[in-house]
Amino acid sequence: MNRDDALKKIKKCLALSRSANEHEAAAALRQAQALMREHGLREKDVSLADVVEVKVKACSTAANAWELRLVSVIADAFGCETFGLLAGRYNHAGNYVRSRHWVFVGMNAAPSVAGYACEVLLRQCAKARLAHIAKQPRNCKPITKTARGDAFAMGWVSAASQLVERFAQPEADKALLLTYIEQQHGELKSDKARNIAKARKTDWGHYSAGHRSGENAQLHRGVGGTAAQGMLT
């Protein structure tokens, strides 16, 4: 029996140890303890086995402020911890390309649902942002268009956040999730968010336009055509 199989067996035994039948409960607990000693496992190891991580591709390699805000809102709503991963590799043409992913860490199905919500809303927001940028005057500088697009996106996220926050926040063991992240990824470094809108002149109209657009954000219950508990409609 390998470690993963032992963890599964231990979890089943611990579940049985809560049985109303005293003899059954005692036997299950003894078996769980014996397996833990045999494989050098602790209670924390068993709890960590319930922690799952899901990666979602970011819109760009830059840590955009509006994107970070949306990721944070989703993580909080589903009781997850989150962080970004920036990695690079050489493609088939020999060029070095970088990619950024958002990682959701949580218990059981929570990260999968959070990842789904993030993927769908990021796609919708990015599409609406580009459409807003396309409406700007031709003589507008590219950096100003980007700043206006970012202001629009912040407004969009603000409105869409209400859709996500309607859900009750599930309980999560924050310390356990942080222990998992440290074990799997080591000590994480903080990174600065890119917010071009702050450095450029953008009026309230762009944020307002984004807010109105974000009110139409949509999330559906089906993931791959199957029902998922806690999905947004």
Confirm whether pTM is higher than 0.85: no
Is the pLDDT at 95 greater than 80? The verdict is yes
How far, in Å, CA of 151 to CA of 129, rounded? 9
What pLDDT is attached to residue 231? 46
Among 20-24, 97-101, 167-171, 213-217, name the one with the lowest average pLDDT: 167-171
Q: What is the pLDDT of residues 129-171, one digit of tens each?
A: 999 999 999 998 998 998 999 999 999 999 988 878 765 455 5
Q: For residues 84, 90, 96 and 97, what is the CA-based torsion angle, rounded to 10 degrees?
A: -40
What pLDDT is attached to residue 194? 60
For the record, the structure tokens of 3 come out as: 């470690």
The closest alpha carbon to 158, from 218, 219, 231, 207, belongs to 207
Q: How high is the mean pLDDT of the chain?
A: 79
% of the chain beyond a pLDDT of 90: 27
